[in-house]
Amino acid sequence: MIGERIKAARLALGYSAEQVAAFLNISAATVYRYENGYISKFPSNMIRPLADFLCVSPSYLMGWSDDGPTAPGIHTKEARIVSFALDSMPAADREKVLNMLRAVYSDYIQKAEDKIG
């Protein structure tokens, strides 16, 4: 179940197995083995990071729910990368990055903030 969901989410986002492997610091062959059910026990410490990377909930990956993507508004690969990086940063660093973005791209940021609320 988890392998099928990893593959479906990966393909929906346009990621290669190599990209997922690089993110998890494992081989692409291992990703393929998970996806095809050759390895049935997925390490529990990788579930949350992989779910975040694939924009799905951990419960979706595990087959406990069918809730699908958790970030449907983030459409481009670049936006997902930036979003994931920001979410992974300590609060002080995140605020510095957001202040730089506001200073350099004020028109775009203001439009985005107005749209998001």
Q: 89 versus 71: which is more confidently predicted?
A: 89
The reply to whether 6 and 52 lie within a common domain is yes
Domain encompassing residue 92: 77-116
Q: Are residues 54 and 93 in the same domain?
A: no
What is the C-alpha to C-alpha distance for residues 106 and 37, in angstroms, rounded to an integer? 48
Contact 87, 53 (CB under 8 A): no
86 shares a domain with 35: no
Please give the pLDDT value at position 102.
84
31-66 pLDDT, tens digit each = 999 999 999 888 999 999 898 888 888 998 998 988
- Please list, in sequence order, all residues whose beta carbon lies within 8 angstroms of the beta carbon of residue 97, skipping any fewer than 6 positions away: 86, 89
84 and 57 belong to one structural domain: no
pLDDT of residue 47: 92
